[in-house]
Amino acid sequence: MWSPHPFHWVPAGGQRHASTDAHPNGGHLYPDGTAVTTLCGDSTLQADNGDHAWLWSECETCRAHTYDLAGTPPPPALLAVAS
């Protein structure tokens, strides 16, 4: 399956995290309760696909790692916030 980046977003632990784990069974989501390894290093998270989960804010640490994996610098607005 084609993927634009080598990571996927997964709602877990009250935030949207990024993971390089493969989706089970070739799906497009991590099923509820699936243990995921996240880019921020939190290894205790389980996927949550509840109605509001995709509206949660992004994990800042995961987001920072996604720019490296995507091979692109963060947008200027994010660089200003990080300073």
| Among 67, 54, 50, CA closest to 9 | 54
User: Which residue is associated with the tokens 């995709």?
Assistant: 54
Residue 2 scores a pLDDT above 60: no
User: What pLDDT is stored for residue 43 in this prediction?
Assistant: 79
Amino acid at 10: V
* Contact of 16 with 59, CB cutoff 8 Å: yes
Apex 8 CA angle, 74 and 17, nearest 5: 70
CA–CA separation, 67 vs 61, rounded Å? 11
pLDDT tens readout for residues 13-63: 999 999 999 888 877 888 999 999 999 998 789 999 888 998 999 999 999
User: What pLDDT is stored for residue 44 in this prediction?
Assistant: 83
